[in-house]
Amino acid sequence: MIAKIGRGANIIGALSYNHLKVDQENGTILATHRIRETVNGQFTVNQLYSSFEPYLFANKRTEKPVLHISLNPNQKDDVSDEDFKNIAKEYMELMGYGDQPYVVFKHTDIERTHIHIVSTCVDRYGKKLPDSYEKLRSMEACRSLELQFQLQPATAKNRNPKEAIFKPIDYREANIKSQIASIVRHLPKYYQYQSLGAYNALLSLFNITAEEVKGELNGIPKQGLVYFALNQMGQKATNPFKSSLFGKQAGMDSLQEYFEKSKEKMKTEPAKEILKKTIEVAIHTSSNETDFKKQLLEQGVNTVVRRNDQGRTYGMTFIDHESRTVWNGSQLGKNLSANIFNDCWKETTSQKPQETIKSSSFESKKETKIQTEKPHSLFDFVDRNQSTQPSTTFGLTESLASLLPESQGEDYEEQTFANQMKKKLKRRNYRGKK
């Protein structure tokens, strides 16, 4: 079993995210602790919030008092609702949160049934509970619960030595091509996306971008794709790599086929309506772009904003790590198109066109490109058909829970595919003039 601990400042957002799944019959409230009872046993977000309110109002100093915990047994484990209740209770006791108010939600919208626990890390007097060695204690708690409830162990012994960590790439390292390959070769196994723009929004989380190249070769129109590694500022930091270096599936033709398949699958995706309502809640409970992105990130959703040179927002992309789908705002609804956000943030946004807020730290630090948006730490990228691995940290960058096959080292040309096509076209034009 793998536990992921997320921290945030907006408990309304965390409760709304989970309760929307209940409303859509993709989740249930399994258990509550120190939560005010209701007459009919049903809960609204406001009713749940009222039990947390005294704790949060008493808090004066803790910036992120909200706990959003995900407990993920192996897909092969047959865990009953009663076992899930006991697992949640035991885990909270072992982590020192046994006396806190909390709500246990079960999610059934993906093949791997799992639970989410929403709680707070400040006591009734507003004092922050100690969290020293929290990650280590969480791992030990998971190992203990695996034995107690006879769950599949998530141990490092299953790790393949030839596997590489599925993480944002570092352009300063020597194996840039292998790093890019480990991402682009495997993303289709994990995510659904319907366009090159959505694909690029997802790639940007891993410091990669792809560009389409068009030209002629011997009079025949050619279309290709090249990939670049990005630096911390979201700027191109390497020569381009032609897609053929990473296999046929990384090329434009294969991607176009994948886009069409994704469109069909995503037509009936139950997470679409949940994501839409989650975004709508964030719009109404946030005062600016920073707060908006922060609230969604706490629910496992990355927001990628695209602006033109004049600073106008022309594209909004939402990456839902829970359902592993990528959506443009206009696909979710007319009320979530770029123009709506443009008007919504017009009065509150004074940043330069190329600037955006870092989503990995909920502070008002600015950067120059959207590509440095970081994946949410609450969700891993473990293949549902693979055994899960433990994580010594709960961020995607350092997670050992997200292992994918490492691409083999290959010789490749520094000359780019784009330049090759341009040179051949120039030669052809030159010969034609003779």
Q: What is the CATH number of the domain that holds 122?
A: 3.30.930.30
- Please give the C-alpha separations between residue 47 and each of 35, 104, 105, in angstroms, as whole numbers: 9, 15, 15
- Whether 207 is in a domain gets the answer no
Does position 92 have pLDDT exceeding 70, yes or no? yes
Count structural domains, the chain.
Answer: 2
Q: Are residues 275 and 150 in the same domain?
A: no
DSSP 8-state symbol, 325: E
Residues facing 313 on adjacent strands: 307
Contact in structure between 31 and 104 (CB atoms under 8 Å) = yes
Task: Kindly indicate the confidence band of residue 398, based on its pLDDT and cuts at 50, 70 and 90.
Answer: very low
Token pair of 90 as six digits = 């035991």
Range of the domain at 287: 271-368
Contacts 24+ apart (CB under 8 A), 208-212: 208/169, 208/180, 208/183, 208/184, 209/236, 209/371, 210/184, 210/243, 211/240, 211/418, 212/252
Whole-number Å distance between alpha carbons of 311 and 67: 35
Question: Dihedral, CA atoms, 365, 368, 369, 375, nearest 10 degrees?
Answer: -20
**pLDDT tens digits, 291-335:** 888 888 888 889 988 888 777 888 889 999 888 899 998 899 888
- Whether 130 is in a domain gets the answer yes
**pLDDT tens digits, 150-195:** 998 875 444 444 444 467 888 888 788 888 988 888 888 889 999 9
Mean pLDDT of 43-58: 93
Contact in structure between 182 and 405 (CB atoms under 8 Å) = yes
- Whether 296 is in a domain gets the answer yes
Q: Are residues 275 and 146 in the same domain?
A: no
Q: Are residues 146 and 280 in the same domain?
A: no
- Whether 108 is in a domain gets the answer yes
Listed residues 349, 368, 387: the one ending a domain: 368
- Whether 416 is in a domain gets the answer no
- Whether 47 is in a domain gets the answer yes
- Whether 91 is in a domain gets the answer yes
The rounded mean pLDDT for the chain is 78
Q: Are residues 149 and 15 in the same domain?
A: yes
- Whether 127 is in a domain gets the answer yes
Listed residues 340, 368, 396: the one ending a domain: 368
Residues facing 71 on adjacent strands: 3, 115
pTM comes to 0.56
Listed residues 120, 154, 188: the one ending a domain: 154
Does position 224 have pLDDT exceeding 90, yes or no? no
